[in-house]
């Protein structure tokens, strides 16, 4: 009787052991199932996020490309249409001024028209030049930036110190770098109230480095990171198109420092 009871007890222990092992295996299976399921969900979400970023990047590139085409069209219209008509007005006015049959009062009015026409023509040329600097197409980025800095120095009180090296970039990417620096200078003048700017553009074997510093009023970088203004949005967008990185250092009352690093395309 005792032996029979011990045999039944042994069988029960074996059953319990197997049942425990089965439960452990089942629990492990459930855990692994949820783990791999969650992993797949995360991978899918990551793929969606990457696709969203790529889509935003394409939209961004298209938007900036359209913007540059529109600038080019407006610049050509200003040069070919408006400037040519203003030149005709100027020449005609000069001819009328030289006419001896016209009275003094009429000549004074014509001279005023000529003065306004000349001023408008100069403004038209400057706008067209800012929209699409011809020197960039003819002589490249370095020459275009030197001309840009000279124009700012002549027409404002700002002092710009610079050291520029030639970069191995396509014309399109040179235009992006030109727009970035143009926007940075405008921001330093308009928002930063700076009167000194330093620009370093350095060519490296695998890319280039651009450092821009001013002595303006500075700003809170934490607030800027939360919400970028239109100017910084454009700068950041063009840096992304160049596949580069943008680092901003600034404190209120201590000026601003922008460091841009971009790789060269293989």
Tens-digit pLDDT profile for residues 246-263:
998 988 888 899 999 999
- Does residue 5 have a pLDDT over 60? no
- Does residue 209 have a pLDDT over 60? yes
CATH class of 134-263: alpha beta
CB 220 within 8 A of CB 210: no
pLDDT band, residue 13 (cuts 50/70/90): confident
Partners of residue 202 on adjacent β-strands: 209
> Residue 257: its pLDDT value, please?
93
> Residue 263: its pLDDT value, please?
92
Joined together, the tokens standing for residue 32 give 């692994």
> Residue 146: its pLDDT value, please?
93
Joined together, the tokens standing for residue 70 give 């529109």
- Other Cβ atoms less than 10 A from the Cβ of 219: the count is 21
- Does residue 110 have a pLDDT over 90? no
Q: State pTM to two decimals.
A: 0.67
Give the residue-averaged pLDDT of 120-127.
Answer: 77
Burial class (CB in 10 A: 0-12, 13-18, 19+), 183: middle
CB 187 within 8 A of CB 216: no
Joined together, the tokens standing for residue 118 give 């000349």
> Residue 227: its pLDDT value, please?
56
| Chain centroid to CA 13 | 73
What size, in residues, is the chain? 266
pLDDT band, residue 86 (cuts 50/70/90): confident
Range of lowest pLDDT (78-82, 87-91, 136-140, 230-234) = 78-82
What's the chain's average pLDDT? 81
- Does residue 109 have a pLDDT over 90? no
Give the residue-averaged pLDDT of 233-251.
Answer: 88
**Residue 176 or 81, more confident:** 176
Longest CA–CA span in the chain (Å) reads 148
| β-strands 196-203, 159-164 pairing | parallel
Give the residue-averaged pLDDT of 54-74.
Answer: 74
Encode burial over 93-129: b for 16+ CB neighbours within 10 A, e otherwise: beebbeeeeeeeeeeeebeebbeebeeebeebeeebb
């Amino acid at each position: 009787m005792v032996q029979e009871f011990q045999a039944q007890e042994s069988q029960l222990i074996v059953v319990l052991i197997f049942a425990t092992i089965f439960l452990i295996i089942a629990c492990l299976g459930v855990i692994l199932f949820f783990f791999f399921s969650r992993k797949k969900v995360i991978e899918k979400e990551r793929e969606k996020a990457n696709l969203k970023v790529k889509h935003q990047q394409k939209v961004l590139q298209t938007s900036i490309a359209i913007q540059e085409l529109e600038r080019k069209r407006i610049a050509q219209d200003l040069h070919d249409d408006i400037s040519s008509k203003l030149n005709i007005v100027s020449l005609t006015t000069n001819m009328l001024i030289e006419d001896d049959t016209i009275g003094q009062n009429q000549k004074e009015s014509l001279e005023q028209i000529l003065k306004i026409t000349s001023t408008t023509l100069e403004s038209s040329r400057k706008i067209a030049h800012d929209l699409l600097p011809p020197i960039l197409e003819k002589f490249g980025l370095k020459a275009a930036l030197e001309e840009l800095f000279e124009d700012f120095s002549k027409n404002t009180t700002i002092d710009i110190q610079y050291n520029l090296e030639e970069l191995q970039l396509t014309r399109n990417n040179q235009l992006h770098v030109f727009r970035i620096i143009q926007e940075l200078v405008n921001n330093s003048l308009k928002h930063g109230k700076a009167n000194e700017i330093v620009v370093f553009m350095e060519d490296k074997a695998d890319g280039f480095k651009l450092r821009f510093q001013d002595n303006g009023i500075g700003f809170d970088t934490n607030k800027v990171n939360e919400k970028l203004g239109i100017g910084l949005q454009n700068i950041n967008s063009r840096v992304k198109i160049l596949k580069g990185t943008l680092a901003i250092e600034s404190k209120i009352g201590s000026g601003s420092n922008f460091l841009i690093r971009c790789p060269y395309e293989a």
